[in-house]
Amino acid sequence: MLLPILTYPDERLHKVAAPVKEIDDRVREIIKNMAETMYDAPGVGLAATQVDIHERIVVIDVSEEANDLLVLINPEITWMSEEKIPWEEGCLSVPGIYEKVERSAQIKVKAFDEQGEAFEFDADGLLAVCVQHELDHLNGKVFVERLSPLKLSRIKTKIKKQKKNA
């Protein structure tokens, strides 16, 4: 089932997600719907916050074929490199806006999968950027809020115009 995606500056995007207490069929159904929504959009990542579910769940697929779904439940970044890389980011909650954001070049992540199994992995490049972007969502932050006040102001003006002309 496709879920409606909240768009910036919706206040619900600033809500901090709560940890998932039990990984059960309800959570697996949320994951299935989130993955379907992300692929349909199309996007490479989706945090539960973006679909108005305020639990720490993320789906990501950075593969060219869109066939390598990564599910992160209660994800945590356990290490970030001091080296930063600029990456042009977009967001399903901020359609049509692409801006360069500096993020850690490499990260280590721990999370649970949809079966409740703990796992860890290292990430760099697009996957590292994507994980950091989606975890920002779980913490109530949208990528445009990492930009300068001037850029953010311009983006808000552009979004208002888009909504008025829609």
Q: Which of 34-38, 95-99, 118-122, 138-142 has the lowest mean pLDDT?
A: 95-99
Rg (CA), the chain: 15
Contact assessment for residue 137 and residue 49, using Cβ atoms and an 8 Å cutoff? yes
101 has which bridge partners? 87
Q: How many CA atoms lie within 13 A of 62 on its CB side?
A: 12
Binding positions for Fe cation are: 91, 133, 137
Rounded to an integer, the average pLDDT of 126-149 is: 97
pLDDT (tens digit, 9 = 90+) per residue, 74-108?
999 999 999 999 999 999 999 999 999 999 999 99
Q: What is the CATH number of domain 11-164?
A: 3.90.45.10
In our burial notation (b when 16+ CB lie closer than 10 A, e otherwise), range 3-42 reads: bebbbbbeeebebebeebeebeeebeebbebbbebbbeee
- Mean pLDDT in residue range 28-38: 98
Please identify every residue annotated as catalytic.
134
Mean pLDDT score of the chain, rounded to an integer?
96
pTM: 0.96
Q: What was the pLDDT predicted at 147?
A: 95
pLDDT of 21 strictly over 80 = yes
Could you tell me the residue ranges of all domains in the chain?
A: 11-164
State yes or no: pLDDT of 166 exceeds 80: no
Residues 139, 100: Cα–Cα separation, whole Å: 20
